[in-house]
Structure 1
């Protein structure tokens, strides 16, 4: 019998490790299939948005995973999460990177949440989508995007301590009662250290998405 697969569609190799780690904990019997287009972020930044052509490019990657008989598909780039709406009727779960984390943030009942990213567009996009989610569930939680450009270099170096230091400094003046949401998978390795240093709830896409995907596949 063939081992069932879960496809991870990524725009940077920095997102792959955190996603794999979370999924291997929740779904150890599944093989992980990495599909990487490392121009997706670069091209979106060059155009200032996800253009219709980039949208179609992500569609082609998802269609490729479906054609390859993946049992579940997880996008790891927050800028492209909206594309999963095209697959709402798919018999195979096609998850955006952070929708499950949005649900976890909502359940936390924090006063507010800071959405952290190393790229301004990613912070703004995730904050906007989280705000929309909160409006739908009639939550008055405040959402504030925070851009930490220097975190990109720390994430690329693989230095979790340095990454946690930079993120901790960025939220040092945050109001009491605010939770933290890491908008990019590449920042997820700092989750535990960041929670310890800030004494705040910290949410990330990989952990929340793996939990939700496991629940869907085990139903």
Structure 2
């Protein structure tokens, strides 16, 4: 595994550190290479939906990663997770994973009332839709409750980490009070830093950096 290279595709700077930290902790012998286009998130929020043009734009980053010689690719932006099937078809030469799939399966295993907390407008509904689709595939009835605070994302971008974490904690507690959820998903990589403020909760709180980093390494090793 010492020679493995994983390409990380980002739509925001805020997703880089959580993923790098997860790889350094669990797979220090794996090299990671970052490919970033912040305009991907700006345009998605502006257009309000994932268009073919945006898929072409993120495909450019995947092609750069493949040209660099990576063994696998991990998409860090939850809002682009719905494009995973098309991206795998476009780039069959390497395993391509997103940050959501394994975390969503784990959430479905842990409860029927699932809370989704997001700080990017598109990420909440995207994660909710994926949860419901996956639940249908395994014939499980679930309820999904979504809370979004773009103000928290702004706080993170301004490096106001305390406010970012506080706003996320407030959303989680609101969902717990109103919906009595069994498990909560922090929908974006950039939210993982707020986990420390939620450790006292009696329900599981899932974040994607460690789950998704393990998933892409496993896929690469399976391909062999």
TM-score, length basis structure 2: 0.88
Could you say which residue in structure 2 is the equivalent of 1:41?
A: 41
How big is each residue's C-alpha offset from its partner over 1:36-87, in whole Å with a ceiling of 9 and x where there is no partner?
0010011111112122111111112112212221111110111111222121
In structure 2, the residue corresponding to 1:199 is in which secondary structure?
Answer: coil
Mark the runs of 5 or more structure 2 residues left unpaired by the alignment: none
Q: Note the C-alpha offset of 1:185.
A: 1.1
Output the CA distance in 2 between the equivalents of 1:90 and 1:55: 16
Output the CA distance in 1 between the equivalents of 2:99 and 2:84: 10
Output the CA distance in 2 between the equivalents of 1:37 and 1:18: 17
1:181 aligns with 2:161: no
How big is each residue's C-alpha offset from its partner over 1:139-173, in whole Å with a ceiling of 9 and x where there is no partner?
21211121122211332244544333211211223
The count of corresponding residues between Structure 1 and Structure 2 is 216
Q: Note the C-alpha offset of 1:203.
A: 0.8
Could you say which residue in structure 1 is the equivalent of 2:138?
A: 137
Equivalent runs, 1:80-95 vs 2, <5 Å? 80-86=80-86, 87=88, 90-95=92-97
Mark the runs of 5 or more structure 1 residues left unpaired by the alignment: none
Output the CA distance in 2 between the equivalents of 1:154 and 1:113: 25
TM-score, length basis structure 1: 0.90
1:209 aligns with 2:212: yes
Counterpart among 103, 106, 110 of residue 105 in structure 2:
103
Equivalent runs, 1:1-219 vs 2, <5 Å? 3-86=3-86, 87=88, 90-108=92-110, 110-173=111-174, 174=176, 175-196=179-200, 198-219=201-222
Alpha-carbon RMSD: 1.9
In structure 1, the residue corresponding to 2:150 is in which secondary structure?
Answer: coil
Contact preservation (8 Å) 2:186, 2:205? yes
